[in-house]
Amino acid sequence: MPYKKRLIARFPPARIKKIMQMDDDVGKVSSQVPVMVSRALERFLEYIMLSSAEITTSKDAKTLTSQHILQVITNDPRLNFLKEAALKSCQMANGNQPNEAGASFSSKKEPKCTSRENTKQSEENDDESEDYE
């Protein structure tokens, strides 16, 4: 009997398959597909976390905050689909209630979501943006 190699995934392929099959357009799913999606999800999260870590270290912070993740999302045009959800999450983390009709975004790249501890940081960013004008 030949040995069948088992594919290792960090996100449960069975759960990914259930999520995929919640869509009526998705029929049968090969056993390799959820593993590939799991790996793609790992790489996607790795990119966001490494980018957030770079921002955290560049600002001499010791703690990664939702503000740093939000900045990654707003600075990368490929992540535009996450802006609304990230802004809502950041507002909820700071104790603010998100708008029910959807979040509005300003033309500035800096996110509007700030907390007491990030107030000084946002003032520094405002000073830096004036230098570029």
pLDDT tens for 52-104 read 999 999 999 999 988 899 999 999 999 999 999 988 888 887 777 655 444 44
Residue type for position 94: N
Give CATH 1.10.20.10 domain extents, the chain.
10-22+29-61
> What's the whole-model pTM score?
0.60
How far apart, in whole angstroms, are the C-alpha atoms of residue 17 and residue 61? 38
Q: Which structure tokens are listed for 43? A: 């790489």
Percentage of the chain beyond pLDDT 90 is: 41
Looking at the structure, give the CATH architecture of the domain made up of residues 10-22+29-61: Orthogonal Bundle (1.10)
Q: Contact, 43 vs 52, CB < 8 A?
A: no
Q: What is the pLDDT of residue 38?
A: 92
According to the model, what pLDDT value does residue 77 have? 93
Quick: pLDDT tens for 99-116. 544 444 443 444 445 444
